[in-house]
Amino acid sequence: MSEEVYEAFKKVDDCLPIGILSKGGSCSIDEVLAQYCPKKIEGEN
């Protein structure tokens, strides 16, 4: 797994418990990835 993907998933992991507790689980993996590396996701398709 690349370092960037690992970092993005760490951010998702950090976000999920907080999102579930504070916002009813509204924390979206897509949102986190889009914030973390929007250009890379679009460029790889």
Domain count, the chain: 1
pLDDT at residue 38, rounded to an integer? 58
* Local confidence band at 29 (pLDDT 50, 70, 90 cut-offs): low
What integer is the mean pLDDT of 23-39?
60
Per residue, what are the HEC states of 1-45? CCHHHHHHHHHHHHHHHHHHHHHCCCCCHHHHHHHHCHHHHHHCC
Higher confidence at residue 44 or residue 8? Answer: 8
Predicted confidence (pLDDT) at residue 45 exceeds the cutoff of 50? no
- Please say if the pLDDT value at position 3 is more than 70: yes
For residue 30, the enclosing domain spans 3-43
